[in-house]
Amino acid sequence: MRYQHVCVEAFGYTLPPHVVTSDEIEAKLAPLYDRLGLPAGRLELMSGIRERRFWDRDWRPGRISAETAEKTITAAGFDRRYIGAVIHGSVCRDQLEPATANYVHHALGLPNSACVFDVSNACLGLLNGMVLIANMIEMGQIRAGIAVGTEGGRDLVEGTIDSLLQDPEITRQDVKLAFASLTIGSGSAAVLLCDRRLSRTGNRLLGGTLRSDTSSHELCAGDSARATHGDDRPRMQTDSEALLHAGVNLAVETWEHCKRVLGWENSDVQKAFTHQVGRAHRKLLYERLGLDPAIDFPTVEYLGNAGAAALPMTAALGIEAGHLSPGDRVALLGIGSGLNSIMLGLEWGR
């Protein structure tokens, strides 16, 4: 994928209000830890995550996504009459039908000529949305579009805690398979893209590539658990170690192809934003890609793994913190269970 006419006009984010520490989660699991002889502090020690955030209990993904998109469009000073696509790209949605993007489109007061739909692809949905919008802009079908999504981890984390505590036959191996579920956080992000002739920033989306390894589709899987746990809260089973290595292997393949598409070498990249999984993942990823970890902007320590919102939310926070400078070449290194990977290159203008 190469783009000549696409700019990333703005990233935006919304952070949930409720902070939940890893110590608090382990305090709830204390009876299980005592029974299995597990040491306290292992959750933060193994993941690097000291806290994550949750929304209010009456939250709705569409409402928060609309707020995030509104803030992003307003902050950019962008004329919403030009927005020809709204893609809601998170795992979390208001309902199965209709698409949550319809609520967002209505709340934003966007033109009825815009295409409106949801994309769900584990932790990669918002990047998929970015690519779809970029393709439409490049082909001249639309002049601008916004990809937005909101993830909430409370039900998964609290449901996992309850399941672990209620099973009298739970083993250390069962705890290991549930470990990744306890690292999940929440967040909301939006990405506004437009034709470069409309752009006030000149933040060029140069292109990128995607790769898949669907032989690994069973390494991380989640669904509603009413049949086995008696409630509709999701549960997830993750082979964290196998997923780590399979994911990084796919990332290496994707990155090498991305560099060929963009004509880049590692030395050409000044900054990067990655999907936020954990400390071990980040360390191995940068080692295997041959990139300097200093170009990264990590948020996993205080946001946990916020699913599809994690990478664009991290980019928005990094931009706000001054992580980017004019002229920087920026890599977006996305990966999601399935496995799928999208890596994109930006040239930062503002």
Q: With beta carbons less than 8 A apart as the criterion, state whether 348 and 203 touch.
A: yes
Q: Map 274-314 to HEC letters.
A: ECCCCHHHHHHHHHHHCCCHHHCCCCHHHHCECHHHHHHHH
Distance separating alpha carbons of residues 61 and 158, to the nearest angstrom:
18
Q: Catalytic: 97?
A: yes
Q: With beta carbons less than 8 A apart as the criterion, state whether 94 and 103 touch.
A: yes
Distance separating alpha carbons of residues 137 and 201, to the nearest angstrom:
17
Q: Alpha-carbon Rg of the chain, whole angstroms?
A: 20
Q: Which of 7, 92, 123, 258 does the annotation list as catalytic?
A: 123
Residues whose CB is less than 8 angstroms from the CB of residue 24 and which lie 6 or more positions away in sequence, other chains included: none
DSSP SS3 for 237? strand
Active-site positions read 97, 123
